[in-house]
Structure formats: C-alpha cells, structure tokens
Amino acid sequence: MKSPGKYIDLFRSLGKEWKWLMHYASKYRMQIALYVVIGIVSTVMGLGSAVASKHLIDSVIAHNENLIVRSASLAIGLSVAKAIVGAVVSRIATVVGTKISNEIRENVYEHITFSKWENIRKYHSGDLLNRIEGDVNSVSNSVINYIPGVVTKAAQFIGCLAVVLYYDPVMAIFAFMSSPFLVLSSRISAKMVRKYSQESREMNGRILAFYSESIQNLQTIKAFDITKRYVNQMQENLNIYRKIKLDQDKFTIIMSFIMSLVGLVIAYTSYGWGVYRLWQGTISYGTMTLFLQISGQLTASFSALVSYVPGAISIGTSAGRIMEITDLPLESSENSKKAEKMEVPANESGITLKCRDLTYKYPDAEKPVINSISFTAKQGETIAFVGPSGEGKTTILRLVLGLVQPDSGEMTMETTDGQKINVCESTRRFCSYVPQGNAIFSGTVADNLRVVKPEATEEELIRALEIAEAWSFVDKLPCGINTNIDEHGVNFSEGQVQRMAIARAILRDAPVVVMDEATSALDAATEEAVLKNIMKVYPNRTRVITTHRPSMLNYCTRVYRINENGNVVEVDNITEPRQERNNK
C-alpha cells in the first residue's frame, strides 16, 4: 500500500504543476470566466427544463390546457436555448483553446531553442516533439475545458442538490450513498493514472524518436539491408505501447464497471423510493419524473467531480513534462550590448581569438575533454586542430561558438581598437559556421543561404556560391538557386551539399570562420580552390578549422594536435610536435 508520505509528495508535485498551468489560465481569465458563466447558465437551463417537464406532466394529468401550453413552451424554449448556449461554449473553447495551445507551444519551442546547448542536448528530438505536441495539447485543452468543467459540474451538483432537498431530503441521502466509494476509488485512481500517464508519454516519446531517426537514416538502413530489423523493432515498441494502453484501459473499464454497478444500485434505490412515495400519494407523477431526472444528474455530477481527480493527475503529468523543458536555464544575453559595440570594428578589421588555460568537461563525462589549452588566432590567420576522432576537436569549436562555457580559464575575442569580450552566446554574431556532416535545410538553394542573411540579393547569393565553387552546378539546376532541396539534401551529392553549406557561411561574412571538417567530401582540387577563394576574398577573417586531411594544413598558419588527455601542442606537421623538432 502506498504510504501517506508518498501521497503527500504526489499531491505536492501536482500542486506545483497546476500552479504553473494556472499561470497560463490567468492570462485568459475573462474568456474562462465567460465560459464558466455560460456553463452555469446552461446548467440552470437544464434544471429549469426538468422542472418545466415536471409541471407539464402534472398539467397533462390534470387536463389543464393553459398550463400544458405554458409548460411545454417553457421546456422547449429552455432546451433550444441550452442547445444554442452549447454551440457558443464550443466556439469559445475552440477560439481560446487554440490560442492557449499556440502560446504554450511557442513558449516550449522558444525554451528549446534558447536553452543552454549542453542542457538541451540530452533530450532526443522525438521526445521534444512529443512534449511540444502531445503534452501541450493535453495542457491547453485542460485550461479551457478542465477548469471551467470543474466549476460547471460543481454548479450542477449544487443546483441538483437544492432541487432534491426542496422536494424530498430523503432522496438526497440516496443520491449520496455512493460518496464513500467514489472518494476511495479516486485515491486508487490517482496512483494508477499517474503511473499509466507517465509510462505512455515516455513510450510515445521513444516511438517518435525511433520514427524520426529511422526515417532520417532510411538510405543507410536500406543500404545495409536491415529494413526488416527496423520494422520488427518498431513493432516491438508499438506492442509495448499497446500493452501500456491496454493495461490502462483495463483498469479504467474495471473502475467504470464497478462505478456503474454502484450507480445502478443508487438509481434503482432512488427509483424505488420515488415509486413508494408515488404509491403513498405524497408526490405527483411529475415530481416522480423530476426525481428520476435530478437524482441521476446529482449522482452523475458528483461522480464527475470525483473523476476530475485522476484527470488532474494526467494533466499534471503533461504539465510536469513541459515544465522540465521550460525550467531549463536559458542562455544569457547580458553581454549583448558589449558585443554590439564591437560589431563595426570587428567587421572592418577582424578579430583576434585568444584562449588561455581553458578546461572543459561535459556534465556527464568523468574527465575533461579539453584540459588547460592555450592558443591564439589573429586576423587573417588560419589555425587547425588535428587529432583522433573523439579527442575534443569539435568541442573546441563549440567553445568558440559559445555553445558551451569553460569550467576554468578563458576564451576572448579582441578587436584592433582594444575592445575585448569573453566568448559567450552574444559573440556568435561574429562567427560563420560550416558544421560537420549534413546540415542543409528543406526549401530552395536560395532559402538555405538566406537563413543567415534574409535580405541578401540574388547577386550576393551567386557571389557566395561562386566563392564556394558551388555555382558551377547550381547554375545548371532546373531552377537555379530556386531549385528545391529535398529533406537532408538527398537530391544532391555530399560534396554539393558541403559546398552549399560553405556558401552559406561565406554569405554570413563574419569576422571568425569556424569550419568543422568542412571539406571532407570535396576532392583535392575543389578543396584547394575553395580555400584559396576564401583567403583571397576575406583576407582579414580569422579561420578556425578541424580536419583529418593533411592537404588542408598547407593553408594553416598554425596547427595544434589534441592528445588523449585533452591537451594541445603546436606542431609543424601532423606527425611531429614543433617543440620536439626544435629539441632535435
């Protein structure tokens, strides 16, 4: 049995999640209040229609034609009015619900993009998509449906109770016979709903992640002839998800069946009491009909209020998953003004990049990947980092780009007029970047280039493509720069995609050019032409590269080798440290 302390922790966690959720609800309090008012009005109309029906039946039995017409008109009018109100409520729910959903979705996406890279990288893209879509929909629907629903059902319960107490207090006792069971069942449901909600959300995230990765790498999967294995793995994932949902459904059916039995007992008890009162002649046929309607609504509204507890837990689970993202620390913008002041001299004269005794360790790593390194890259210089894969070359570039911050030491950017700033999020404006691997977007060739400079003219795009030795093939495309690029650039070769990525970095025209294995897919002649073009057109740019290709080093001012301890040493070539050569 779950200990009271764990229940306290459960509801304490729910309280925190619902407090976060109410932050969004407060922004739409007027619309929600209108929704609640209309819901209460609809409930009153329903009760009024039931009372009118009671008088209609009594007037029919008494052959009172005037009362029959009035009662019938009132009952029909209230029913029609209730239908109209229902349509209005539905419209309000759609208008407000979509607005809240968009706001939360935008907020979550903003936190994903602005969160510190080292924190957000641990989440799989499929899981993040699941949170943006599934969890956000659950939360946004709750704001407009759940909160007003609780108030409306409470109003219905109070209204029904008032009517029953007015006509027969004993009937109210029968209606509340299910209360102890309902309260007990809600405690059991709270535990199980939390469990199933977490499991299903997590598993759905895993399935979306599997979808995403397998579809993105479909060419590789087919090439290795392992499609059957991936289909089987997907079936296994879906079967696990299905089992979770079936277990949840089984629990729900059992609880619903038991509650239905209890409801039937209450209903027939109320019915029997009504028949007895009718037999005794103490109530009319109309009152008997009213009792049957109202007692059912009373029990149903009380059951609904109790059932909102598991619903609150399920919604809270989704809110908690969103909070996990929105609570991540965001990147700082405190140095943005300082960086803005440096833009003009940086773009005109270039930047010197200095690193002193810098150490960095990934949060989940046992030892530093970069350990007390120092180097300098001045305007017009090209420095390269070489070494085995996984030894820290890409990490150094992430430090240059401000994606991660050093644990100790410093990395700075300095302009020729003496301005200086620590490398951080705000200094990315000084960087162009050619990433390792395929980093092309869907859209046209022009769209991909304009990602970094939306206002770029067609002439500027062509010029960047020429420098990157890409215009020779882009010009021959069916629509030139307006040719569509398929997802991941599958309609282009790796070398073509790489040259378009280089053209994008060139169009950015930033003082520091960061290139991560940027020419790995190019032949030697094209690589040489691209590098010569960049150096000729942008002589005062600082270039920081990583490479495994010895030919690239011919264009470098200095070369640094990274060893397994995360240290760097300057070398004359890729095999021999400069200090060791001098000692010889």
Can you give the pLDDT at residue 179?
63
**Reported confidence tier of residue 237, pLDDT bands at 50, 70, 90:** confident
Q: Are 255 and 192 in contact (CB under 8 A)?
A: no
Q: Which comes out higher in pLDDT, residue 512 or 162?
A: 512
Same domain as 171, residue 270? yes
Domain count, the chain: 2
Residue % of the chain over a pLDDT of 70: 88
pLDDT above 80 (res 539): yes
Taking every pair of Cα atoms in the chain, the longest distance, rounded to a whole number of angstroms, is 123
Can you give the pLDDT at residue 579?
39
Can you give the pLDDT at residue 33?
79
User: Which one of 326, 357, 378 terminates a domain?
Assistant: 326
Can you give the pLDDT at residue 580?
37
Same domain as 547, residue 443? yes
DSSP structural state of residue 144: I
Same domain as 373, residue 258? no
User: Which one of 295, 326, 357 terminates a domain?
Assistant: 326
- CA dist 226 → 91, 219, 232, 490 (Å): 49, 11, 10, 20
Q: Which helix (H) or strand (E) holds 568?
A: strand 568-571
Quote the mean pLDDT of the chain. 81
Q: Residue 27: which CATH number?
A: 1.20.1560.10
Same domain as 468, residue 568? yes
Q: Does the residue 162 lie in any domain?
A: yes
Same domain as 446, residue 412? yes
Helix (H, G, I), strand (E, B) or coil at 422: strand
Q: Which comes out higher in pLDDT, residue 121 or 252?
A: 121
Same domain as 355, residue 266? no
Same domain as 347, residue 279? no
Can you give the pLDDT at residue 103?
82
pLDDT above 50 (res 296): yes
Can you give the pLDDT at residue 481?
93
Interatomic CA distance for residues 317 and 195, integer angstroms: 9
Q: Does the residue 4 lie in any domain?
A: no
Can you give the pLDDT at residue 267?
64
**Reported confidence tier of residue 333, pLDDT bands at 50, 70, 90:** confident
What angle separates helix 179-216 from helix 227-280, to the nearest 10 degrees? 160
Same domain as 445, residue 297? no
- Backbone torsions φ then ψ of 174, nearest 5 degrees: -60, -40
Q: Residue 399: which CATH number?
A: 3.40.50.300
Interatomic CA distance for residues 467 and 482, integer angstroms: 19
Same domain as 375, residue 351? yes
pLDDT above 80 (res 4): no
User: What spatial distance separates the first Cα and last Cα of the chain, rounded to whole Å?
Assistant: 76
Q: Does the residue 483 lie in any domain?
A: yes
Judged by average pLDDT, the poorest of 49-53, 175-179, 253-257, 580-584 is 580-584
Residue-wise pLDDT for 435-481, tens only, equals 887 678 878 999 989 989 999 999 999 999 999 999 999 999 989 99
Same domain as 248, residue 203? yes
In 217-284, where does DSSP find H-type helix? 218-223, 227-280
Query: Which residue has 């209890």 as its token pair?
Result: 262
One-letter amino acid at 435 equals P
Interatomic CA distance for residues 78 and 82, integer angstroms: 6
Interatomic CA distance for residues 65 and 558, integer angstroms: 105
Residue 492, both tokens: 């282009």
User: Which one of 326, 351, 371 terminates a domain?
Assistant: 326
Q: Does the residue 423 lie in any domain?
A: yes
The boundaries of the domain holding residue 403 are 337-583
Nearest to 520 by CA among 551, 544, 475, 490: 551
Question: If you average pLDDT over residues 537-560, what whole number do you get?
Answer: 87
Q: Which comes out higher in pLDDT, residue 379 or 280?
A: 379
Same domain as 468, residue 520? yes
Interatomic CA distance for residues 328 and 316, integer angstroms: 18
Q: Are 454 and 361 in contact (CB under 8 A)?
A: no
Q: Does the residue 221 lie in any domain?
A: yes
Q: Does the residue 6 lie in any domain?
A: no
- CA dist 457 → 449, 453, 454 (Å): 11, 9, 9
Q: Does the residue 197 lie in any domain?
A: yes
pLDDT above 80 (res 418): yes
**Reported confidence tier of residue 225, pLDDT bands at 50, 70, 90:** confident
Judged by average pLDDT, the poorest of 177-191, 415-429, 534-548 is 177-191
Cβ contacts of residue 75 below 8 Å, gap of 6+? 49, 52, 53, 56
Can you give the pLDDT at residue 186?
63
DSSP structural state of residue 428: G
Nearest to 384 by CA among 539, 519, 502, 500: 519
Q: Are 419 and 345 in contact (CB under 8 A)?
A: yes
Q: Does the residue 530 lie in any domain?
A: yes
Residue 573: how many other CB atoms lie within 10 Å = 13
Residue-wise pLDDT for 57-100, tens only, equals 777 777 777 777 887 787 788 778 878 877 777 777 777 777 77
Same domain as 300, residue 353? no
Q: Is this structure's pTM higher than 0.85?
A: no
Burial class of residue 107 (count of CB atoms within 10 Å of its CB; 0-12, 13-18, 19+): middle
CA dihedral 428, 497, 122, 195 (to 10 degrees): 130
Residue-wise pLDDT for 363-386, tens only, equals 878 889 999 999 999 999 999 999
Q: Which comes out higher in pLDDT, residue 544 or 139?
A: 544
Q: Where are the beta strands (DSSP E) in 445-541?
A: 484-485, 512-516
pLDDT above 90 (res 265): no
Residue % of the chain over a pLDDT of 90: 22
